[in-house]
Structure 1
Amino acid sequence: MIFDVWKDIKKKQLQPTYLLVGKESFLMQETIQLIIDAGLQEEEKDFNLSVYDMEETTIDQAIEDAETLPFMGEKRIVVIKNPSFLTSEKKKEKIEHHLGKLEQYMNEPAPYTILIFFAPYEKLDDRKKITKLVKKNSVVLEMNSLSDRDIASWTMELVQNEKVLMGQNALEELMILTAGDLTIINQEVKKLSTYVGEGRTISREDVRNLVPRSLEQNIFELIENVVQRKSSQALQIFYDLLKTNEEPIKILFLLVNQFRLILQVKELSKAGYGQQQIANSVKVHPFRVKLAMQQARLFGEEELVSILMELAQADYEMKTGRKDKQLVLELFLIKIFTKNTA
């Protein structure tokens, strides 16, 4: 739905009120920027664009601005950030909001104003009268994690906008290396496009050579080599991490996180959960769940529990200084290789 709304916005088919909800901040910022670019000329933005943070300003001030005629232009855009009064949050507010003014406005919005609610929450409280009213009279865009298909579609649209091409293998490699992070994908597509040049094709090798691996991605590759019994490759990644001054304790922490995720994914998959349901349950990006599902097939549950116990022992030995930190991790990896080849 979000991409359909983006198409309408780009055609300048703008609506009086938008409600953006979710944790995918990049998409939310992109949507707001599209609305601003479609609704206002560059020279109008200083006069007719306002942003109000509801943690610092009352809703009355924002609505008063929304009801003010635009200056030297046809439209006014008012952005309302952090509207926690639409949620069930019980935190003590520094600002007291009188919602009567907002209710009146939502029932009769100003025809010359575009009002945007920027709500960085997983969900709103649909039991509240004001939430129901805002939802009823707004274009509602839920912006939590996208599906793999949507991320791929969005990425290819970026590629087309940069006037370059990208094959399926290169796309898959990019999604793996960025773990589906939209902000990073956006940066890397621009860099890759500049590198290959207009009209050329971004290859898988281009992606591998130019897109940096995160520490988390290196840990994933390390585990992948462990389960594939590629001991030399796994150890090479480990030593490369040490050469870049990554702390053994941090590497251990990420190993624990990844193996714990693999176990959680395995158990939830067994219980009938799908990829998106698992992502919501363990609160990680769906693409990380997809990769963990692939690795989970290569382990038994008892084996994963045993590995986590060994990692807990390694953590204890590191923190108590009983053994050299690098040696602790080396011994752990060797033990895993021995089990896999037994």
Structure 2
Amino acid sequence: MAPKNPYAGNDKILWKSIKENRIGKLYLFFGAEEYLIRNYCEHIEKTILDEEFKVLNKTVLNGKVTPAQIIENCRTSPVFSDRRMVIVRDSGLFKSGKKKDDGAADPVEKSKGTKGRGKGGDELAEFLQDLPEHICLVFIEKEIDKRLKYVSIVAEHGLVVQFDYRKPAELTEWVIKRLREMQHDTSPRTAAMIVDYCEPSMDDILNELNKLCAYAGDRRMIKEEDVAKVCTRSIKSRVFDLTDALAAKRSRTALAILNDMVALREPMPRITFMIARQFRQLIQTKLMVRDGAGRSEIASFLKVPPFIAEKVMRQAASFDMSSLEKAVATGLELDVAVKSGRLKDRAAVELLITSLSAK
């Protein structure tokens, strides 16, 4: 069983506090979903800062900063406002491996309740536990080490919020809502298609929505054919097409799709991983169908919308089990050949395509 995420649901706690105008003094936001991090920061900013004096009461510190810089900016009094906001991005305080340099804190040192000053890390640790009432300090990191003392301090005296990529079902609902805000409509199936076409980043999806709305013009309804014409297809979507070509024994088509992905500068290891993942999902789906599972159950297991589960079921049906097992076994053999230096990664994928599409 996977360990319980100690920060699960904290985004809902944060949203509730924003709606109730109860903004705290200390936050740590981390994760891959930059759109949500930016969105929540903007909501906090609008809640506590007057637009007219925002420039005087908001400071953003990027990259390597010293504890002294953080403390100084937090102690600065707000101007014509009750609150002041300080955002610290990519400080490195919440990841192990940061060197003690220029007075910077040592993030590996565990908190022992030290009260001494003079060591930058101790002073900052003490300061974070008793921030001025006027401050809202937000740390933003891509990744954190949950064992470190600064993470523990924020968890105890503030709120740690994890912003991972959202699940396809959540993104599908968000696409429908976002299009309505942009004066357009679409069906749940088309929204799921947009999500399937795109990378999981909400910024990437929003970029495609802007393109779709510009293409549709005054026409309110966004259709599937619009998505097919306008949207840039993600690697997961192209891998699905490649697998379709393999099922139909169309090696030239499969190799052309591979060339397209390479031309788009997709890293070959990622392409290989996605192809292997697709075949594993096909085996899982085929076994589930054999045992009587339906579309909804398969969608739940694969964590995809029913529309996508239907496509996976159709694709799984086009392969016999021996072909799928051969694909996985061949992929493993070629992976060993690549890692041992006997084969280049692109050549390995081309051999896999040729092998699986042989009639």
TM-score (norm 2): 0.69
Which one of the candidate residues 146, 155, 179 is aligned to 2:166?
146
Q: Summarize the alignment of residues 177-216 of structure 1 with structure 2, pairs less than 5 Å apart.
A: 177-197=197-217, 200-215=220-235
Q: Summarize the alignment of residues 5-84 of structure 1 with structure 2, pairs less than 5 Å apart.
A: 5-6=14-15, 9=18, 12-53=21-62, 55-84=63-92
CA RMSD for the aligned pairs? 4.4
Shift of 1:74: 3.6
Shift of 1:266: 7.8
Shift of 1:223: 1.2
Shift of 1:183: 1.9
Distance 1:147 1:11 in 2: 27
Distance 2:237 2:82 in 1: 48
The answer as to whether partners of 1:12 and 1:38 remain within 8 angstroms in 2 is yes
The answer as to whether partners of 1:166 and 1:202 remain within 8 angstroms in 2 is yes
Distance 2:283 2:145 in 1: 26
Question: Does residue 173 in structure 1 map to residue 180 in structure 2?
Answer: no
Distance 2:154 2:261 in 1: 51
Q: What secondary structure does 1:338 align onto?
A: coil
Task: Give 1:307's aligned residue.
Answer: 330
Which one of the candidate residues 259, 273, 276 is aligned to 1:257?
273
Q: How many residues align?
A: 314
Distance 2:78 2:266 in 1: 53
Which one of the candidate residues 79, 93, 99 is aligned to 1:92?
99
The answer as to whether partners of 1:19 and 1:139 remain within 8 angstroms in 2 is yes
List gaps (5 residues or longer) in structure 2. 1-8, 106-119, 288-297
Distance 1:161 1:100 in 2: 47
The answer as to whether partners of 2:88 and 2:139 remain within 8 angstroms in 1 is yes
Shift of 1:176: 0.9
Shift of 1:35: 2.4
Give a deviation string over 1:201-250, Cα, whole Å, max 9, x none: 21111111110124553233111332xx3245x633643665x6946997
Give the AA of the match of 1:118. I
Give the AA of the match of 1:92. K
List gaps (5 residues or longer) in structure 1. 280-285
Task: Give 1:230's aligned residue.
Answer: 248
The answer as to whether partners of 1:9 and 1:35 remain within 8 angstroms in 2 is yes
Shift of 1:84: 3.4
Give a deviation string over 1:128-158, Cα, whole Å, max 9, x none: 3x43231122233111232223322333332
Normalized per residue, the structure richer in helix is 1
The answer as to whether partners of 1:82 and 1:119 remain within 8 angstroms in 2 is yes
TM-score (norm 1): 0.72
Q: What secondary structure does 1:50 align onto?
A: strand
